[in-house]
Amino acid sequence: MIEEVDLQSDMKVFGFWIYLMTDLIIFAALFASYIVLQQATFGGPTAFQLFEMSKALQETLILLTSSFTCAMGMLAIHKKQKKTALFRFSVTFALGVLFLILEISEFIQCIQEGNGPSRSAFLSSFFALVGTHGTHILVGLLWMGVEMVRICLRKLSDQNVSRIFRMVIFWHFLDLVWIFIFTTVYGMGHLS
């Protein structure tokens, strides 16, 4: 019976890695589109004119800090310290919400200034790439919220720990994608 549960858990983790690889393909296509279209401004503003590095750096630091607190939450789970894990995941959740608020406010500011996704191919690719990442952050926050409720209500069985582990891997994946967004969109945008 224990071997069957372990096999099921291993299969779920394997399936989750397959999912992440398909997500990676989606992001690769969005990055490729952005790189190809970043100069297609149709007379509109460029990345250098639109984006403030200080805001992008602030978002990056918030997300990297959330990755650290998320990892610390998983460490507490392995030590069976539910209260500590809940605190660390709550901090991660709050940082994720803050990141999302900053990202949405950047979108709103662009749109209010007349630089929405329909303004140019460059802006379409920007909104598609960064918006897809933001949608994934929202999904990650919802998932994290569900897992925090489960931590409160259930014991930390191997199956529940495996589920939390997959959520943590997803969060780290989003942080990794953001590093590439920061480099490609904001960093390279200020070099051109």
Total number of domains constituting the chain: 1
- 39 part of a folded domain: no
Instruction: Give per-residue pLDDT as tens, 22-32.
Output: 999 999 999 99
- 41 part of a folded domain: no
Report which residue type is found at 173: F
Cβ-contact 174, 35 below 8 angstroms: no
- 26 part of a folded domain: yes
pLDDT of 49 strictly over 80: yes
- 36 part of a folded domain: no
With cut-offs at 50, 70 and 90, classify the pLDDT of residue 34: very high
| Res 56: pLDDT | 93
Higher pLDDT, 176 or 8: 176
- 104 part of a folded domain: yes
Tokens of 137: 């952050």
CATH no. for residue 70? 1.20.120.80
Domain span at 112: 2-31+55-190
* Cα-based distances in Å from 120 to 8, 116, 117, 129: 48, 8, 7, 14
- pTM value? 0.91
